Structure 1
Amino acid sequence: MKNLIIAASLLIGVSAFSQVKLDATKLNYLAADASPMDATYYPLQVLSSKSEKPKIKVLYSRPQKKDRVVFGNLIKYGEVWRMGANENTEIKFYTPVKIGGKDIAAGTYSLFAIPGEKEWTIILNSETDKWGAYAYDKSKDVVRLTVPAEKTASVVENFSITFVQTKTGADFYAGWDNTQVKFPIEFK
């Protein structure tokens, strides 16, 4: 009898709970962010391939130029930048790689830059899941390399990251406004 009462109570509770409908107007859905989160992979066609596995994945937010001068103004020269907006940009290597002559273990890293007018410092950092560069800790740097800043042929409205295949791996490209940088990634 006791088991029958428990079973009936559970049935009534589950039945009542399944009838509850949440009013969407009372939920606190967030509006779309002005700098949406995006992902890019290497190889680029990996998402449409059933056989190819990713070697690199980058998660980043894509801020917009919106008629602003980006580098030297919105993004200050000589200051650590998260290479995107909102959360810091993260790069995941599915296999060991070599960057700037240094061996990098497979894993996920934060990606920062110190932009300059003529050259940038690219930083791979072991600390992930942070908001922006506010909690950036230099002691967690895995590798730093200096690369030239190049002018683009046309304006890049949304901050963008992509890869170009090379003989030994891939070149990482980041571009926004009228500036782009690149650095080589070698696969081991």
Structure 2
Amino acid sequence: MFAALKRSLPLSLVFICSFAACGDHKPTPSQTVHVQPSVNAREQKRLASMDKSPMDIAYFPEDYPVLKMSGKAKEDPVARIIYSRPSKDDRTIFGNVVKYGTYWRLGANEGTEIEFFRDVEVTGRKVKKGRYIIYSVPYEKKWTIKLNDDLYTWGLSIHSAKDVYSFDIPVTTSNNIFEVLTMKFEDYEGGGRLMMAWDSVRTYLPFKY
């Protein structure tokens, strides 16, 4: 009898334990694990070096989207500029990298684009609201600023036959060096102006509205 019990006990325990475990077990919901593909070092380097001149945007009034979303915007925007920001990288820019008397896209990559959301006066000349490519012909003492209606351009391919406005503005220099091309709208004499600065050079394009 005891021998039979001894032989049957392990099987009984296994049955009881299995039954108890099955009775309270609730299956866990299946989970899908998304594994991101690895990016090797070469690919990371390629991605990191895709754009050395990142794109930026400036509004007038300054930081208009922030003012709008916080309920502090008193009026619609007047102007906006979208441009890429090349770096100085220990180079002399004007007269060297940017040659005097030649077309310059006022940035890098795509053509720099300015938009006026209403009619304005630029250096006393009426300019209709709309979007324009803005570029420059720089000289040592002045820049000639051009507004062109050939949108969505790239590089130095500027179709000057599509220029619609032209303005001459003076150049100022400073010991305060701008490492990257910087554009910024600011209040000026009851209107505004666009500051363009790179290396030791600054220029200002004034407008009224």
TM-score range, shorter chain: 0.7 to 0.9
CA-CA distance at 1:113 after TM superposition: 0.4
Confirm or deny: 8 A CA contact 1:98 1:186 kept in the other structure: yes
- CA deviations on 1:117-166 (whole Å, 9 max, x unpaired) are 111101111111100232x1112111111111110240000100012212
2:80 counterpart of 1:62: no
Unpaired stretches in structure 2, ≥5 consecutive residues: 1-32
Larger of the two Rg values belongs to structure: 2
Show structure 1 runs of 4+ deviating over 2 A. Answer: 19-32
Aligned residues: 169
Q: Which residue of 2 aligns with 1:178?
A: 200
Q: Which residue of 1 aligns with 2:129?
A: 106
CA-CA distance at 1:115 after TM superposition: 0.7
Judging by fraction of residues, say which structure has more helix. Answer: 2
**1:70 alignment partner AA:** I
**What is the RMSD of the two structures over their aligned residues, measured on CA atoms?**
2.3
Confirm or deny: 8 A CA contact 1:41 1:57 kept in the other structure: yes
Q: Secondary structure at the match of 1:149?
A: strand
Q: Secondary structure at the match of 1:161?
A: strand
CA-CA distance at 1:83 after TM superposition: 0.2
CA-CA distance at 1:22 after TM superposition: 7.5
Q: Which residue of 2 aligns with 1:128?
A: 151
**1:49 alignment partner AA:** L
Q: Which residue of 2 aligns with 1:37?
A: 55
2:105 counterpart of 1:86: no
| TM-score of the superposed pair, with normalisation by structure 1 | 0.81
2:178 counterpart of 1:165: no
Q: Which residue of 2 aligns with 1:143?
A: 165
CA-CA distance at 1:20 after TM superposition: 9.4
- The share of aligned pairs that are identical, in percent, is 35
In 1: Cα distance, 2:56 partner to 2:153 partner: 17
In 2: Cα distance, 1:114 partner to 1:62 partner: 18
CA-CA distance at 1:38 after TM superposition: 0.5
CA separation of 1:24 and 1:102: change in aligned 2, threshold 3 A: farther
